[in-house]
Amino acid sequence: MTLKIDALYRRLRSVSNIHVLLALCAAHCLNDLLQSVVTAVYPMLKSELNLDFTQIGLITLVYQIAASIFQPVVGYAFDKRPFRFSLPVGMTSTAIGITLFATCSSLAGILVAVFLIGMGSATLHPEASRITSLAGRGHRGFAQSVFQVGGNFGGSIGPLLVAIIVAPHDRLYVLWFLVASALCFAAMKPIVKWYGGYIRVLKTLSKEEAHIPLPLSRRRTVLAICVIVVLIFSKYIYMTSLQSYYTFYLIERFGVSVSQSQMLLFVFTFATAAGTLVGGPVGDRIGRKAVIWVSILGTAPFSLLMPHVSLPVTAVLSFGSGFMLSSAFPSILLYAQELLPNKLGLVSGLFFGFAFGVGGICAAILGEFADHYGIITVYNWCAFSPLLGIVAAFLPNLRGKTGLR
C-alpha cells in the first residue's frame, strides 16, 4: 500500500467512529425490514387484487431483478463517482415504493412499487457495505458482521410486524412502515457526514495515489473468484433448504405442530445471527480463508447427521448448521473485496446480488424436487452440499498482501 494511502487512513481517523458502524447496522436493519414487507403481504395482496400464482411470480421476478441484478450496476457507478447521499437516495426510492405498494389497486402499480423497493435495496447493500469496509479499518470483519446482523434482524422481524400491524386490517396499513423509513433516514445522518469526510480526503489524492495495487495476478484473481462462486452455491443450497422448507420437514418427519416448527425455525434463525456476528471478527484474527474453509466444510457433519436423528438432536444440529454456514458470508465478501480493493461497490453488489439470486433459484428448484420426491429426500440430498466447501483449499492466502485494512 502506498504512503499516500497510509496518509489517507491516518487523516480519516479524526472522522471515524464506532457510531458510524452502529448507524450502518441500524440502516441495514430498517432497510431489510422494509424489504421483507413485500413477500409478507403476498397473501393479502393476492386476495384483494384477485391475483393468480403466475402474477405473484411476476411480482417476485420484477422485485428480484431490481434488488439483485441492479446491485453491481449501482456499485460500479458509485465506484466511479462516490456520492455522499447515495444511501438517502436509495431509501427515498424504497419509501416511494412502500407508499405505492400500500395504495395501488392494479397489478401495474404494484409492479412499479416493488421495482422501486428493489432499487432501494440495490442501492443500500453495495454502498453501505463499501462504507462499512472503509469505516471498519483494521477490524473490517467485525464491522461487516455488525452490518450483516442488522440485516438479519430486520428481515426476521418484518413479517412479524406485518402480522401485527397489517394483517388484522387491510393493505393500507403498510403505510405505517414509513415510520421505519423515517428512522432509517435519521440513522443515515452520521453515515452521510462520515462518508462526506472520506470523499473530501479522497479528492486530495491523484488517481495514481489513490489506486491500491491488486494483491494477486489477474489469472489468480479470476481463479479465486470462480472458487468463491462455487462456495456461495454450496452455502446457499443448504441455507435455502433450511430457511424455506425446514418447517415442512419437521412437520412431515416428526409430526410437530405449525407453532412448534416455527419455534424450531427460530432456533436456526438465532444461530445464523450468532454465526454472522462471530465469523467476521474471527476472520480478522485468523484470516478470511481459514474462516471460509472451516465454516462451510465444517457444516457437513451437522448436515449429514441431521436426517438420521431424533427431534431434540435435530434442533441442536440445525443450530450448528446455521451458526457455521452464516459465519462464512462476512469473510467471503471481505475476501472478494480484498481481491479487488478499488472496486468495493462493484464487488459488494455482485456478491449480495448473486447471493440473493442463488437463494431464489435454489428455493424454486428445491420446491420442485420436494413436490416430486418428498421433502425428506430433498434433505438427504442437500446434506451433501456443504462438502463442496473443500474447494476453499484452492483460495490463495491474502494475509499481508492486501492494501485494505
Helix, strand or coil, per DSSP, at residue 257 = coil
Domain end call among 210, 227, 249: 210
**pLDDT score, position 1:** 43
Same domain, 135 and 242: no
Domain end call among 152, 183, 210: 210
Q: Which amino acid is at 109?
A: G
**pLDDT score, position 344:** 84
| Within a domain: 253 | yes
What distance in Å separates the CA atoms of residue 99 and residue 172, rounded to the nearest whole number? 9
Same domain, 275 and 204: no
**pLDDT score, position 315:** 93
| Within a domain: 387 | yes
Total domains in the fold of the chain = 2
| Within a domain: 295 | yes
**pLDDT score, position 3:** 47
| Within a domain: 405 | no
Same domain, 235 and 150: no
What distance in Å separates the CA atoms of residue 326 and residue 232, rounded to the nearest whole number? 11
| Within a domain: 157 | yes
Same domain, 206 and 266: no
Q: Cell numbers 446480488 correspond to what residue?
A: 353
For 225: left if phi > 0, alpha if psi spans -120 to 50, otherwise beta; the answer is alpha
| Within a domain: 50 | yes
Same domain, 132 and 227: no
Same domain, 189 and 240: no
| Within a domain: 274 | yes
Same domain, 23 and 153: yes
Same domain, 229 and 334: yes
**pLDDT score, position 15:** 45
Same domain, 152 and 28: yes
Query: Residue 131, CB half-sphere, CA atoms under 13 Å: how many?
Result: 37
Q: What is the CATH number of the domain that holds 369?
A: 1.20.1250.20
Mean pLDDT by 10 residues, the chain (405 residues): 49 62 95 88 85 79 84 88 93 97 93 95 91 82 88 84 86 95 96 90 71 82 88 82 80 84 81 87 86 87 93 94 88 86 83 74 78 86 88 81 54
Domain end call among 210, 231, 251: 210
Q: How far is CA 167 from CA 159, 171, 173, 262, in A?
A: 10, 8, 9, 18
**pLDDT score, position 358:** 74
Same domain, 19 and 61: yes
Same domain, 55 and 177: yes
Same domain, 194 and 229: no
Q: Cell numbers 480493493 correspond to what residue?
A: 341
Closest CA to 233 of 391, 71, 373: 391
C-alpha 283: how far from chain center: 18
Q: Which amino acid is at 12?
A: L
- Burial code (b: 16+ CB inside 10 Å, e: under 16) for 253-273 equals eeebeeeebeebbeebbebbb
**Residues spanned by the domain of 195:** 3-210
Q: Cell numbers 450496476 correspond to what residue?
A: 73
**pLDDT score, position 400:** 60
| Within a domain: 390 | yes
